[in-house]
Amino acid sequence: MEIKQDYLSLEGNPEFKRLLEPGEFLLYSNGLVKFNKYGWSQKRNIVITNKYIYNLNGLKVRRKISLSKVIATTLSTHIKSQEFIIHVKEEHDYRYTSEK
The CA distance from 92 to 81, in Å, is 21
Q: Does residue 7 register a pLDDT over 90?
A: yes
Predicted pLDDT at 79: 65
The CA distance from 7 to 48, in Å, is 12
Domain range annotation of the chain:
5-97
Query: Each residue of 37-68: pLDDT tens digit?
Result: 888 999 999 999 999 999 999 899 999 999 99
Query: HSE-up of 31 (CA within 13 Å, CB side)?
Result: 6
Q: Where are the beta strands (DSSP E) in the chain?
A: 5-6, 26-35, 41-49, 52-57, 60-66, 70-75, 83-88, 94-97
Who has greater pLDDT, 51 or 84? 51
Predicted pLDDT at 2: 63
Mean pLDDT of 8-36: 93
Of residues 66, 11, 7, the one with CA closest to residue 32: 7
Fold of 5-97: PH-domain like (2.30.29)
pTM of the model as a whole: 0.85
